[in-house]
Amino acid sequence: MKEVIYRFGVETDWVEELAASLEGFIDGNFIIVADDILKGTYYTLQISENITVMLVDVIYHQDVLYKVRNIKNDFAGIYFNLTEGDLVHVMNDISRSVGRWNYNLAITDSQLDIDFVIKSGSKSYGISLFLKKHILREYLSKTGILDEVLNRVFDERQNTLLHYAHMSSNSWHIINEFRKSAPGSISFNLLLSGLAYNLMADCLDNIMKREITISKVLRTDLAMILNSQTNLIKKQEGIFPGITSLAAEANMSATKYKKLYKKITGQTPNAFFLNNKLELARDLLGSGHYTIRELAEKLNFTSTSHLSEQFKSYFGMSPKEYAASL
Amino acid sequence: MATKDQISVPRDIAQGCSYFMDVMPGLMALVVDFSLQRSVELNKVVNAEDFYIAYYDLSDEIDIQKINDTKMGYHSKLGMVVVDATLKSSYTPSLKMYSFWLLIAKPLLQKYLLGPTDNPKMGHNDTIVFSSHMDSRTRLCILKLRTRNYNDPSFELSLRGTSLQVFAYLVERINESGPVLGKLSELDTAQIISTQAYLMEQLLGAFPGIDFLSTKAGMSISKYKKLFKRIFKESPNSFFIREKLNLAQELLKSGNFNAINEVGKELGYVKPGYFAAIYKNQFGQLPGEVFIKTGHKPKNRLTLPHDSRRI
């Protein structure tokens, strides 16, 4: 697996490093990467001293493990991922990150280390905005969030800014309209800048409507939850370990564990576990090496019909239909 | 106090300005909205020689009004004007309703007119003139902005986003059509644009004739023809026919006529075959393919995506 360690920032000095770790080079705003790793558009643009935007529209030809290790902590990232969106139904080439989270919009602090794997064959489309924290703070304070709350959220000693959500359908429309323009054309940088501002406006609207809530999470708690989630993925063929055991592993009370888990990932541990199991079931089914009965056994479903039922409610079609459509 | 070569924003070009913003170095945006009475403190003075003005008027469309049972009124307007800011007297925008303005510094626009080989496409004396219909992408953008509330914390971001988008679309259009070569005098440009506006008012009748138009513009026939073509990249006659047929299309779709022939007659076409032929020449389809007869419900007009109305 190709491992790519990189960092982001509003200042674009990291672009060269990213290009190098992808074994590519910079050509204007483009990062050109060898076709055997990925093919498509990798494009960065600094819009102002406070905002930088990155567009990634690629197909992966190798498994790539991304490790984000930011050095600067003066910015936040807003990530729009259209690939995993509910509105895009791509069955076989969906990009799956380790610990597949049920989100297509993420707002994260630059202090957060993030690892994720993108599988070979994935089609990935993402818009990332990097914003100086003081600008983000300025926008947020306009929405009427109280200063004391903001002080706590932006307190670098304890908290880390984090939010996962579903992008609004308006954001989705804005991005879709933008996708009609050709990267590198004369008006492209203007359109990309326009896109960044329009998306920020929409985010702010949703914060106003409280559909996005900016909240604080203790960094140590976050690390615990992410760790716990990784453990869950390792055990995904088995049976659900139970909240008591997971909470003990994370050194928390069961109540606190459940609450934090939901806050950070937006799902209960149980739902996360089941959804990942079903994703795995789909992949294994796709490999053609297993019958549905064998799968139910391998993945510890109580019965074949239980698997079928859950599969259908998650993917909208039964495993039988899915296997037939391959 | 503004001198001759300066424009003060907003008092001078846009009384009733509701919103003003520096979008990026060399690009300013203005919103004029008469539904909002608000005094804008800012009175920025810029040197007109250094700027282009782009003006977008949302009342740009073909309007069909019923005057009485037998008579209809038509009003067709060009909603997009782009000129050198020193030529601002070339047109008088209607300061009714809602309009959107960009002030674009010449060096900024020049930057977006560079060909791939870095050869400037535009010479020192060349200029940009547009007086035409707004493209639908731009129109949707501005319509969407219009649904936004000025007091929303996101308004500024969204105006910035919209301005960049509208500017990008303008850059694309200019690169398609190219600049107007050679220097233009303010008076000549004003005269040419005013005859163009006159043509827009005469769409139901026959072409008034070059003689008449050039006299109206106070120029010789040859100068008039040459200048019109230089600015609008087509002859007065072909401009007239194109706009006439645009109106024809709206009339055909309006559901106000019993037969295609009636539409032809309304526009002064006596021979149905000729009308059909030139219509097909412009739109690639026959009038019959879009015609909606009286009593049948007209198809829905272009509307905003559902979401953008939700504010």
The tens digit of pLDDT for each residue in B172-191 reads 988 888 777 777 787 888 88
**Domain limits of chain A?**
2-213, 219-326
pLDDT of residue B71: 63
Please judge whether B171 and A186 are an interchain contact, meaning their C-beta atoms are less than 8 angstroms apart: yes
Token pair of B19, please?
């919103």
Q: Which helix (H) or strand (E) holds A8?
A: none
Please judge whether B154 and A194 are an interchain contact, meaning their C-beta atoms are less than 8 angstroms apart: no
Please judge whether B167 and A204 are an interchain contact, meaning their C-beta atoms are less than 8 angstroms apart: no
Give which of A131, A166, A198, A208 to mutate to test B binding, by max B Cβ within 10 Å.
A198
Residue B153: cis peptide before it, omega within 30 degrees of 0: no
Q: Is B162 exposed, middle or buried (0-12, 13-18, 19+ CB in 10 A)?
A: buried
Contact (CB, 8 A) for B72 and B64: yes
pLDDT of residue B23: 93
Q: Strand pairing partners for A245?
A: none
Residue A101 has pLDDT above 70, yes or no: no
Give which of A47, A78, A142, A205 to mutate to test B binding, by max B Cβ within 10 Å.
A205
* Nearest residue in B to A197, CA atom: B161
Q: Are residues B192 and B169 in the same domain?
A: no
Q: Which helix (H) or strand (E) holds A60?
A: strand A51-60
| Contacting residues of B for A175, CB less than 8 Å apart | none
- Coil, strand or helix: which one is B29? strand
Q: Does B278 touch chain A (CB under 8 A)?
A: no
In a domain, B252, yes or no: yes
Q: Does B100 touch chain A (CB under 8 A)?
A: no
CA separation for the pair A52, B23 (Å, rounded)? 16
* Nearest residue in A to B23, CA atom: A194
Q: Where are the alpha helices (DSSP H) in chain B?
A: 106-111, 136-146, 155-177, 186-201, 210-217, 221-232, 236-253, 260-266, 272-283
Please judge whether A187 and B172 are an interchain contact, meaning their C-beta atoms are less than 8 angstroms apart: yes
Report which of A254, A243, A253, A246 is spatially closest to residue A226, judged by C-alpha positions. A246
Chain B closest-CA separation from residue A260 CA (Å): 30
Residue pairs between chains A and B whose CB atoms are closer than 8 Å: 76
Token pair of A251, please?
């050194």
- Which of B136, B151, B177 is at the close of a domain? B177
Q: Does B69 touch chain A (CB under 8 A)?
A: no
- Count of residues making up chain A: 326
Residues 6 or more apart whose CB falls under 8 angstroms from that of A74 comprise: A10, A110, A132, A133, A134
Q: Does B229 touch chain A (CB under 8 A)?
A: no
- Count of residues making up chain B: 311
pLDDT of residue B63: 65
* Nearest residue in B to A187, CA atom: B168
Q: Strand pairing partners for A287?
A: none
pLDDT of residue A122: 78
* Nearest residue in B to A205, CA atom: B154
Chain A closest-CA separation from residue B164 CA (Å): 5
In a domain, B37, yes or no: yes
| Contacting residues of A for B152, CB less than 8 Å apart | 204-205, 208
Q: Which amino acid is at A220?
A: T
pLDDT tens by residue, B260-285: 998 898 888 888 899 999 999 999 99
Residue A43 has pLDDT above 70, yes or no: yes
Please judge whether A200 and B168 are an interchain contact, meaning their C-beta atoms are less than 8 angstroms apart: no
Q: Are residues B229 and B86 in the same domain?
A: no
Distance of CA A133 to the CA centre of its chain: 20
Give which of B160, B169, B171 to mutate to test A binding, by max A Cβ within 10 Å.
B160
| Contacting residues of A for B160, CB less than 8 Å apart | 194, 197
Contact (CB, 8 A) for A189 and A45: yes
Q: Look at A36-40, A149-153, A312-316 and tell me which has the smallest mean pLDDT.
A: A149-153
- Coil, strand or helix: which one is A71? coil
pLDDT tens by residue, B186-218: 788 888 888 998 898 888 888 999 999 999 999
Please judge whether A169 and B307 are an interchain contact, meaning their C-beta atoms are less than 8 angstroms apart: yes
CA separation for the pair A229, A101 (Å, rounded)? 10
In a domain, B160, yes or no: yes
For tokens 């608000």, name the residue: B38
Residue A97 has pLDDT above 70, yes or no: no
pLDDT of residue A56: 92
Q: Are residues B137 and B261 in the same domain?
A: no
Give which of B109, B164, B172 to mutate to test A binding, by max A Cβ within 10 Å.
B164
CA separation for the pair B194, B201 (Å, rounded)? 11
CA separation for the pair B140, A112 (Å, rounded)? 39
Query: How sure is the predictor about A212, in pLDDT bands with cuts at 50, 70 and 90?
Result: low
Q: Which of A143, A198, A199 sits opposite B153 (nearest CB)?
A: A143
Token pair of B95, please?
């300061």
Q: Are residues B281 and B163 in the same domain?
A: no
Cβ-based neighbour number of residue A52 at 10 Å: 25
- CATH at B202: 1.10.10.60
* CA Rg value for chain B: 21
DSSP characters over A305-321: HHHHHHHHHHHSS-HHH
Report which of B244, B260, B254 is spatially closest to residue B64, judged by C-alpha positions. B254
Please judge whether B154 and A201 are an interchain contact, meaning their C-beta atoms are less than 8 angstroms apart: yes
Please judge whether B308 and A197 are an interchain contact, meaning their C-beta atoms are less than 8 angstroms apart: no
Q: Are residues B253 and B152 in the same domain?
A: no
Chain B closest-CA separation from residue A317 CA (Å): 29
Decide the pairing of beta strands A51-60 and A64-68. unpaired
pLDDT of residue A103: 62
Residue A233 dihedral angles phi and psi, to the nearest 5°? -65, -40
**Across A5-20, average pLDDT:** 89
Please judge whether B169 and A187 are an interchain contact, meaning their C-beta atoms are less than 8 angstroms apart: yes
Please judge whether B164 and A169 are an interchain contact, meaning their C-beta atoms are less than 8 angstroms apart: no
- Coil, strand or helix: which one is A212? coil
pLDDT of residue A60: 85
- Coil, strand or helix: which one is B282? helix
Q: Is B136 exposed, middle or buried (0-12, 13-18, 19+ CB in 10 A)?
A: exposed
pLDDT tens by residue, A275-302: 878 878 887 888 888 989 999 999 999 8
Q: Which helix (H) or strand (E) holds A294?
A: helix A292-298
Report which of B222, B232, B244 is spatially closest to residue B196, judged by C-alpha positions. B232
Q: Are residues B30 and B50 in the same domain?
A: yes
pLDDT in tens, chain B (311 residues): 334 445 555 444 445 556 788 999 999 998 887 665 555 554 566 777 788 889 888 765 666 666 566 666 677 777 888 888 877 655 555 555 688 989 999 889 888 886 544 555 566 677 788 888 888 788 888 988 988 888 888 999 999 999 999 999 999 988 888 777 777 787 888 888 889 988 988 888 889 999 999 999 999 999 999 999 988 888 999 999 998 998 898 888 888 888 999 889 888 888 889 999 999 999 999 998 889 888 765 444 443 333 333 33
CA separation for the pair B227, B214 (Å, rounded)? 10
| Contacting residues of A for B158, CB less than 8 Å apart | 197-198, 201
Q: Where are the alpha helices (DSSP H) in A143-268?
A: 147-153, 169-178, 188-208, 219-234, 243-249, 254-265
Residues 6 or more apart whose CB falls under 8 angstroms from that of B25 comprise: B105, B108
CATH code for A219-326?
1.10.10.60
Contact (CB, 8 A) for B208 and B237: no
Chain B closest-CA separation from residue A193 CA (Å): 7
Residue A197 has pLDDT above 60, yes or no: yes
Counted domains in chain B: 2
Angle, CA B141 vertex, CA B136 and CA B147 arms, to 5°: 125
- Is pLDDT larger for residue A177 or for residue B88? A177
Exposure class string for A60-74: b at 16+ Cβ within 10 A, else e: bbeebebebebebee
**pLDDT, averaged across chain A:** 81
Contact (CB, 8 A) for A232 and A265: no
| Contacting residues of A for B310, CB less than 8 Å apart | 170
Q: Are residues B65 and B154 in the same domain?
A: yes
In a domain, B308, yes or no: no
pLDDT of residue B310: 32
pLDDT of residue A94: 34
Integer CA distances (angstroms), A284 to A93, A98, A107, A319, B88, in order = 14, 17, 32, 11, 69
Distance of CA B167 to the CA centre of its chain: 14
Domain with B261 in it: 186-289
CA separation for the pair A322, A66 (Å, rounded)? 30
Token pair of A7, please?
């960092």
CA separation for the pair A11, A189 (Å, rounded)? 17
Please judge whether B157 and A208 are an interchain contact, meaning their C-beta atoms are less than 8 angstroms apart: no
Please judge whether A208 and B153 are an interchain contact, meaning their C-beta atoms are less than 8 angstroms apart: yes
